Chain A
Amino acid sequence: MSKIHDNFEHILEIDKLSISFFTRLREIPAVMDFSVKVAPGEAVGLVGESGCGKSTVALGVMRDLGKNGRIVGGSIKFKGRDMERMSEEELRDIRGNEIAMIYQEPMASLNPAMRIGKQLMEVPMIHEGLSEHEAYQRALEVVTDVKLPDPERMLKSFPHQLSGGQQQRIVIAMALMSKPSLLILDEPTTALDVTVEAAVVELVKDLGKKYGTSMLFISHNLGLVLETCDRICVMYSGEAVERGDIETVFNKMQHPYTQALFRSIPLPGADKNARPLVAIPGNFPLPHERPPGCNFGPRCDYFEAGRCDHGIIPMDDVDGDGQHESRCVKFREIDWNAPITKADTKQKGEIGRVVLKMDKLKKYYEVAANALFGGGETRVVKANETLSFEARESETLAIVGESGCGKSTFAKVLMGLETATDGIIELDGKPIQDIPINHRDTQTVADVQMVFQNPFDTLNPSMSVGRQIIRALEIFNIGDGDADRRDRMLKLLDLVKLPRAFADRMPRQLSGGQKQRVGIARAFAGGARIVVADEPVSALDVSVQAAVTDLLMEIQREEKTTLLFISHDLSIVRYLSDRVMVMYLGHVVELGSTDDVFAPPYHPYTEALLSAVPIADTHVEKEHIVLEGDIPSAMNPPPGCPFQTRCRWKDKVAGGLCDKEVPPVRQLSDSHQIKCHLSDEELAKMTPVIKLATATAAE
């Protein structure tokens, strides 16, 4: 089964593709009039919000649309051959051999009952008829290529024995086993941590060059696409709205949606007053309720009745060279360089007295081997180590760290779901660290509330929205009588800018952003003074994120709330927080005001985190730091400094101190502390990770 060697100009050529899904009620068009070309060795990014049809395109290329999906128009040419005319056998031969796909969830792509080696060897054995020995050699080679330590042991292990990042590397290795000419990556790093994501992206880029593979990179993250792709195609509601070279599209965008998308994401290089976030108004249209004319029309700032709302709007060439196209009737008239108009810059609330104080908080878990009879050795998981900080009224304290760093445990202890092992938590001067939530008085419980990460999980699906808010009011003893509580509930809905009619809706009738708003309303039902927001926007679409973030900040201004904002997204942290706390393996490695943390000297981990964040701005230059390996398990932390296994500055510290001792907390300035052995001279040598290109030019 050899590869196809025809004469072709493009690896993949999608021309006016339309895909529909057929349900009992109606035909639902998922992709309409979509064209893209992928040249050999080129990486093309497909960007859009969830539901815009980008994954459907990938499945269409693989011809894996399920029972009710069908290609209703257009053609897909692979290496110059029309895939429509291929037989099942030919298609099977192409899948996995010529076109490989990498999915979002690595664990779902690997067979949990098969050893890694066997899964990898299967690919060339089926497609190329290699012998077992040859296949093993190939597997070993590829696993080495994806930079996994100890390849032979890797091949012998089962998928669950590897970490998420390692699993995704194995999935990539599997895709590369047959040396495909096209690699489709469907959100390959969304499930991974930032530093791991950076390493995987780096790997994909290198491998693409090494193997000469073309790539179709599907993502919702503009920054990631900027780092990996040569060309980009922006999709909205089933259509490609703008297409062109990555530089051109990022710098000279020609479609209102692309512009709105860029304006709704925070850029770490920019100041929040000079470049405020602008949320896209309205909601994403449902596939069967698309407006006539331009799909983006109802949410567009440049909408003009009569022109934008009827007929079919075709893709139009911008420069006449076929390199940059936009699906907008007005793009030639719009002044793309006009500054963002923001009605009023709101003054941030005055930061007040200390509300919450943590002093040397520790939380250890004991994990016994045998739960029933208590035998076996008990192991201690140190989830939080000597956490000390203060939070003030109307202040936003961001807590940054990757999964496993102990931020959720810290939240649990603060809420009273767990009690602290050691140390003190003071709320208004009263210690609360040893009081579990059912012994706390109502006021304390109402004062400390939480906003959760997953909007689809945060509301009870079988209770109406109003009922859930009223329940919170009841439990906090607010309002007298049912009528008063209902009134207050409606006011809370006003507060989070939801129509009052939503009170009687069930959560499944709401979109992700709306659910998150209800979650916020519920948290503020008891007049909460401290709100722990656990990645409140990370699961939302880009265009909705800005609106929810703004809402949180606005409520904070009005209610003088202390916001503990847990996040791994440094862009948004820089945008909204006053102070930042960086956590790693249960330790606070750096704590300081936002400006201090985002400027050198950094803690080495902060430096790596900053470098790992993908930034959707071509003017930004980043220093390239890729962390090796994964986060160690909290069950078995390294001796000495927790970060020493991945630190690139380790050799700058004399005497191997990093291996032996946990570094002390050092006060760099009044508002800035770090936990590191590096000497002041070394710290002073650090350069900024993120630089504006214009700024460097000026120097």
Chain B
Amino acid sequence: MEQLTWFGAYGASFAPLLMVFITLAVVAGLCAALLAFTGSSAHASFSLVNGIAVLLLLFVGFLYVYSGLTGSEDGGMSLSTLGRILLVIALLGIFAAMLSYFMGTFFDDPAAFMGVLFKWSVYIVGALVLLWLAVTLIWQGSGYDAWLAGLDEGAMPPAEEMAHQKWVSAIETRGILASIVVRFWPVWTALVVLYALSIHYKRKLGLYGKLFDSTIGMIGFGLVMFWVFTAVFVGLFDLIATHAPLDQVSGMKNKLPGTPLRGAEMAEYPFYLLGGDNLARDVFSRMVEGSVIVIRIAPLATLFAFMVGITLGLPAGYYGGKLDTFLSFLANLILAFPVILLFYLLVTPEIVATGLPQYMAAVLFIFPLIFCAVLINSRFRIQPQKNYVWLAAVLIPLFLFYASAINDSGANSQIRFWPIDFFDIPGGILVVFVSVVFVNSPTVFRIVRGLTLDIQTRDYVAAAQTRGEGPWYIMLWEILPNARGPLIVDFCLRIGYTTILLGTLGFFGLGLPPESPDWGSTINEGRKLLSVYPHPALPPAFALLTLVLGLNLLADGLREESLKD
């Protein structure tokens, strides 16, 4: 088996073209941005300086492309390259002249022209990528045919081996990127189904449906859901990952992406798609396993932080006065405390032994219970029958969950009063959870308090007061639903912060165990040999980047769409 290439068997034919158009897109994009800056507005006339600037930039761009493509062979630019560049410029000139002839407005406005050029380059790049993917996935048998032809006649190997060989050669034809795309097939399927359904029913889905009117929001949501689905398929169905996250294979230490496994079993995936780390573990599998941890902890921790922030922020804003002063002071106190120091303190063995994280969990985790209890009670206060049913239905499972969460049967545990303990949260995760909630809730508190101050002056709050509603009904059913817009946006952003915080914690080796595949820890491990072997650190970093970017775009999209009506 050979080392896998990035683009596979057909990559060589597509790569140069792709490079050309990517460069064109970058250059045109830059030009458009620059020209927009220099003040040529929509109806400005074409100035000579602008024109020369554009042409120069284009020239430099092509110089770069061609020296990149051809320079690697002979170290310099050959005459033929120069000729090609001139040819392209001439062609471009003719193209521009034709455009300006047919559509007089274009060269009046070089910024707009560059914009169009950028747009089309991006489209072409997209089309090329799809084309390459299609070609690579459809014609993947050539290696296998060659292998078959190389066999002695009559000495056909067993069917299993034939199938295995077919599989291996398919991977070899695809290359690393296409193989990764194939590994993610359940995610793609899920995304396609989700998007098809959502777009089809978007008018009936409220704010979620409106998200599909905004390109930014759709991209963000896609990125987020990509990782959510990955976590689901890896965590629950054991798909996608090629190896176990802790398996070490001899001879794979720090191997480059696409290295074949030596003496791999038939059923084993025969390559390390993104290479091996310094303990010879598969980087790709660790990255996708890491998503499970991140997706499991970050949103839940953020949700808890919101419960705490909302339960305290609403009364602070609504009642005001001394309660508000006290709670705001407390929030400021926590905010003023250095976060990392706090984390270090919380994970110190002596502190853990005193049970402080457990006690903090006992306090912080009770807020969702309080929140739900008040929410239901204020709503059904006047209908006791319904009230009890709802309270029981919601609070009993929540209490069992709460009791199990704070109880720990471990030796060092300080809280061990509840006999029915369904699960133990590993100490590390509990600490991470507690610190994230502790640090985030004051900020949420301040947002909720501010929104409450604003909304409580509305007439519908006065109307509720004049019909004798209790204060908690007004806070939870009249004020909170109308503060949801900013809160949803902040929730998305805050999951992003939490994810980064998890990464930071992992990076400092805090909280999660050292062998954990979460992204922060893996980046930290890869950091040590970064200058020699960058490949173990980059994939988790890229994953973290895309998830947080997705969350930010999603928040942007939600904000944009929630403002429209």
Q: List chain A positions with a Cβ less than 8 A from chain B.
A: 371-372, 415-417, 437-438, 440, 442, 445-446, 448-450, 452-454, 457-463, 472, 474-477, 508, 519, 522, 526
Contacts and interface: CB of A to CB of B under 8 A. Distances in A.
Contacts of B468: 437-438, 440, 442, 445, 475
Contacts of A450: 462-463, 466
Interface in B460-487: 460, 462-470, 477-478, 481-482, 484
Given A371-B321, A452-B463, A519-B463, A438 B470 contact: yes
Contact of A462 (B470, B482, B565): B482
Contacts of A454: 459
A127 B325 CA distance: 50
Interface in B311-340: 321-322, 325
5 contacts: A372-B322, A437-B468, A457-B458, A458-B459, A508-B565
A449 B466 contact: yes
Contacts of A446: 467
A208 B351 CA distance: 79
Given A415-B466, A452-B459, A475 B382 contact: yes
Given A461-B460, A522-B467, 8 more contacts: A371-B321, A416-B466, A450-B463, A453-B459, A458-B463, A460-B464, A460-B481, A519-B463
B462 A452 contact: yes
A192 B379 CA distance: 40
Given A459-B460, A460-B482, A417 B382 contact: no
Contacts of B465: 415, 417, 437
Contacts of A519: 463
A545 B467 CA distance: 25
B383 interface: yes
A122 B469 CA distance: 52
A437 B466 contact: yes
B482 A474 contact: no
Contact of B481 (A442, A463, A526): A463
Contacts of A440: 468
B373 to A, nearest CB: 20
Given A437-B468, A475-B382, A477-B382, A462 B462 contact: no
B53 to A, nearest CB: 24
Contacts of B484: 462
Interface of B: 321-322, 325, 382-383, 458-460, 462-470, 477-478, 481-482, 484, 565
Contacts of B565: 508
Contact of B382 (A416, A452, A463, A474): A474
Contacts of B477: 463
B217 to A, nearest CB: 14
Given A371-B325, A457-B459, A449 B481 contact: no
Nearest to A475: B467
A475 B481 contact: no
A563 to B, nearest CB: 16
Contact of A472 (B458, B467, B470, B478): B467
A437 B473 CA distance: 15
Contacts of B459: 452-454, 457-458
Contacts of B458: 457
A354 B322 CA distance: 42
B43 to A, nearest CB: 10
Sort A-B residue pairs by CB-CB distance and give the 3 closest, nearest first.
A462-B481, A452-B459, A457-B459
A45 B153 CA distance: 101
Contacts of B383: 474
Nearest to A459: B460
Given A462-B482, A462-B484, A417 B466 contact: yes
B463 to A, nearest CB: 6
B379 to A, nearest CB: 9
Contacts of B469: 475
Nearest to A24: B213
Contacts of B322: 371-372
Contacts of B467: 445-446, 449, 472, 475-476, 522, 526
Nearest to B380: A474
Contacts of B460: 457-461
Contacts of B463: 450, 452, 458, 519, 522
The CB with the most chain A CB atoms within 10 A, among B383, B459, B478, is that of: B459
B28 to A, nearest CB: 24
Contacts of A463: 477, 481
A109 B463 CA distance: 32
A460 B478 contact: yes
The CB with the most chain A CB atoms within 10 A, among B383, B462, B470, B481, is that of: B462
Contacts of A462: 481-482, 484
The CB with the most chain B CB atoms within 10 A, among A372, A417, A437, A460, is that of: A460
Nearest to A454: B459
A450 B321 CA distance: 27
A442 B468 CA distance: 8
A442 B469 CA distance: 11
A584 to B, nearest CB: 24
Contacts of B481: 460, 462-463
Contacts of A460: 460, 464, 478, 481-482
Contacts of B382: 474-475, 477
Contacts of A458: 459-460, 463
Nearest to B386: A482
Nearest to B478: A460
A546 to B, nearest CB: 22
Nearest to B464: A460
A672 B482 CA distance: 47
B22 to A, nearest CB: 30
A371 B326 CA distance: 12
B558 to A, nearest CB: 16
A231 B460 CA distance: 42
Given A474-B382, A477-B382, A461 B482 contact: yes
A69 to B, nearest CB: 15
B298 to A, nearest CB: 27
A417 B465 CA distance: 7
Contacts of A459: 460
A474 B458 CA distance: 22
A519 B467 CA distance: 12
The CB with the most chain A CB atoms within 10 A, among B325, B460, B465, is that of: B460
Contacts of A508: 565
A372 B458 CA distance: 26
A455 B325 CA distance: 33
A457 to B, nearest CB: 4
Contacts of A438: 468, 470
A463 B466 CA distance: 18
B454 to A, nearest CB: 12
Nearest to B480: A462
A415 B325 CA distance: 29
Nearest to B479: A460
Nearest to B468: A445
Contacts of B321: 371
The CB with the most chain A CB atoms within 10 A, among B467, B477, B484, is that of: B467
A520 to B, nearest CB: 12
A451 to B, nearest CB: 9
